[in-house]
Amino acid sequence: MSTAAKQAEQIVREREKAARDAEVQKEAARIEGDARRKAARDEHAGRMAAMKDAEDRLRAHEDATRIEVVFFGIRITAHLERSSDNLRRQQAMHALTEAVFLLQAAFEERVGQVRAEAIGHPVADGTWTTDYVLARVKDACRYGVASGLVTVERV
């Protein structure tokens, strides 16, 4: 075999070895990346578990934040201690605001009926019954009720 052929064969062997080394390095980098991602996931899971424990201890506290509105035979309760993030807290407050608007409308309707009766005007049967208002409030608060942030019940 000539020297040129031996050199060419040597170059081919070196390139093959370099390719194998590159593959080994890629595999090692992939394994190392997987290990780092798993460690990050485990660390994140540990933080989330610690946050959940702290939140559960807060929920168990008897003085946890709760807003109750009772009117027209209906009790609406917003459980702010159950809202672990700002979006859920806003959802609960929105449901409570909607419920207050509906209760205010029921009150104004009742005041209007009483005034009309007082001056002798004919008054339609009360359409804003407790059942009707309860159904409207439950509909307005359905997302808050579904997420457990708001309860709506008849007193």
pLDDT of residue 153: 92
Residue 77 buriedness (CB in 10 A; 0-12 / 13-18 / 19+): middle
Helical residues (DSSP H) of the chain, grouped into ranges = 3-60, 86-118, 130-140, 142-146
Residues 114 and 106: beta-carbon distance below 8 Å: no
pLDDT tens-digit profile of 51-110? 888 877 766 665 667 888 998 889 998 887 655 677 877 888 888 899 999 999 988 888
Query: Whole-model pTM?
Result: 0.57
Confidence at residue 101, expressed as pLDDT on a 0 to 100 scale = 92
> Exposed/middle/buried for 93, CB within 10 Å: 0-12, 13-18, 19+?
middle
For strands 74-79 and 150-154, give the pairing.
antiparallel
User: How many Cα atoms occupy the beta-carbon half-sphere of 98 within 13 Å?
Assistant: 22
Contact 96, 67 (CB under 8 A): yes
